[in-house]
Amino acid sequence: MSTRWFRPEISKLPAYVSGKRSEREDIIKLSSNEVPFGTIPEVAKAVAEKIQGINRYPDMANADIVATLAERENWPEDGIVVSNGSTALLEKILQAVTTPGGDVVYPWRSFEAYPIAILAAGGNPVPVPLREDGTQDLDAMLAKVTPETRCVMLCSPNNPTGTALGHAQTERFVEAIPESVPIIIDEAYIHFANPENVQDGLAIARKHPNVIVARTFSKVYGLAGLRIGYVLTSAEMATGIRAIATPFGVNLLAQAAGVAALEQREAVERVAQEIVHLRDELRAQAQQLGFEVPRSEANFLWFAKDARGNKLDGERFEEVCREEGILVRKLGDDGVRVTVAEKEGGLRLLAALRRLSAN
């Protein structure tokens, strides 16, 4: 990349690689952690009813969706910020809190957008390797927090390993960090998690004004194509985030869809339950074939080792899956993430795993 027009550090940004596409008509995409069941009818109806009004700007305050979220999450409205995807909010927060060269501590491997957003904000990425079992090493992360630290990021359930932090360990970690340091807990996949196995980010944020809980409508709510996410935090923190959020960032259709999705609680719960059932079933079958798969609290499974316990050949894994009619997500040399989707996708994955385990 040329540095003729851009800051020198922009040329160092790692490219975000989206899920692959295929020309094959019957291919099943298991590479982007999307919900496969289509749009909830009531949500589609709410969007259709607003389509004739798209010549007007949306409500910049996102008042309807903020009010609905406040009721749903039992959270003060002045502590909620909604924008065009949780990733966009994370980027804005980092731009606001990171000083040039300031450290941002985060787990790795985790969401690919983190190092990109940190560098774009002018910060210094401080990745902390996961443990061998794919869990976040909070002690190692805490050891990296210094007076130069401007932000700490957690991802639980973690993308791409699916592993989650426990509540007690997360609370201890937060309490050990100075209140002057913002802590982001990315809970994009929280709706697929067993509450007994994962942190209660909102309970922690109620006690710590520097904690920001980030969530999205792209996963369990099935609104990935409309780009809408939100954070729940203290009123003081939210005021600062709101000041730098993109004006009119949430379009008219996304606002309508978000409110409708929140109102369809039973339908959303059914989606989560179906995904969890398929996820646990697939993991058990993969383990029977010899694959070590971490317990996932998200809507995907992580493969880092082959059926013999050796480092996974990600290219071979990806190739065999494609031959079986599914697209999966190879993440560098670390492993392959596979989205849990409808039953046919699972059957094709198992066919691929049987071939891989036999070689």
Residue 10 lies in a domain: no
What's the pLDDT tens digit per position in 203-232?
999 999 999 999 999 999 999 999 999 999
CA distance readout (Å), 51 to 28, 55, 90, 226? 30, 9, 29, 13
Which of these, 77, 122, 115, lies nearest to 96 by C-alpha position? 122
Among 245, 263, 281, the domain-final residue is 263
83 with 157, same domain: the answer is yes
pLDDT over 70 (residue 19) = no
One domain, residues 83 and 229: yes
pLDDT of residue 7: 80
Residue 335 has what pLDDT?
98
As a whole number of angstroms, the distance between CA 158 and CA 142 comes to 18
Asked if residue 64 has pLDDT above 90, the reply is yes
| Residue 2 forms part of a structural domain | no
Residue pair 160/302 in contact (Cβ under 8 Å)? The answer is: yes
190-206 per-position pLDDT tens digit: 999 999 999 999 999 99
Are residues 172 and 279 both part of a single domain? no
287 and 141 fall within a common domain: no
For 135-187, the pLDDT digits (tens) are 999 999 999 999 999 999 999 999 999 999 999 999 999 999 999 999 999 99
pLDDT value at residue 56: 97
Whether residue 4 is contained in a domain is answered as: no
CATH number at residue 131: 3.40.640.10
pLDDT above 90 covers a percentage of the chain that reads 91
pLDDT of 18 > 70? The answer is: no
Regarding whether 177 and 300 lie in a shared domain, the answer is no
Number of domains in the chain: 2
Segment 51-79 shows an average pLDDT of 97
> What confidence category does residue 1 fall into, taking pLDDT thresholds of 50, 70 and 90?
low
pLDDT level of residue 13 (50, 70, 90 thresholds):
confident
Asked if 133 and 61 sit in the same domain, the reply is yes
Same domain membership, residue 244 and residue 118: yes
Q: Is a pLDDT exceeding 80 seen at residue 117? A: yes
Tens digits of residue pLDDT in 252-272: 999 999 999 999 999 999 999
Does 186 reside within a domain?
yes
- For 94-113, write each residue's pLDDT tens digit: 999 999 999 999 999 999 99
pLDDT confidence of residue 230:
98
Q: Is residue 307 included in any domain, yes or no?
A: yes
Identify whether residues 329 and 214 lie together within a single domain: no
Q: Which of 231, 263, 295 is the last residue of a domain?
A: 263
Q: State yes or no: cis peptide before 109, omega within 30 of 0.
A: yes
Write out the residue range of the structural domain in which residue 158 sits.
41-263
207 is a domain residue: yes
Q: Give the model's pLDDT for residue 102.
A: 97
Q: Which of 263, 280, 302 is the last residue of a domain?
A: 263
Give the pair of three-digit tokens for residue 110: 């985790």
- Of 204, 144, 143, nearest to 179 by C-alpha is 204
Kindly give the residue spans of alpha helices, DSSP state H, lying in the chain: 41-50, 63-73, 86-97, 113-120, 138-143, 167-175, 201-207, 235-244, 252-263, 265-288, 314-323, 343-358
CATH label of the domain that carries residue 322: 3.90.1150.10
Together in a domain, 192 and 105: yes
Domain annotation covers residue 3: no
pLDDT of the residue at 17: 67
Same domain, 205 and 306: no
pTM reported for the whole predicted model: 0.95
Distance CA 8, CA 173 (A): 35
Task: Check residue 11 and give its pLDDT.
Answer: 76
* 59 and 185 part of one domain: yes
Q: Which residues pair with 311 in a beta bridge?
A: 305
From CA 140, how far away is CA 105, in angstroms rounded? 10
Kindly state whether residue 55 falls inside one of the protein's structural domains.
Answer: yes
Specify whether 156 is located in the same domain as 279.
no
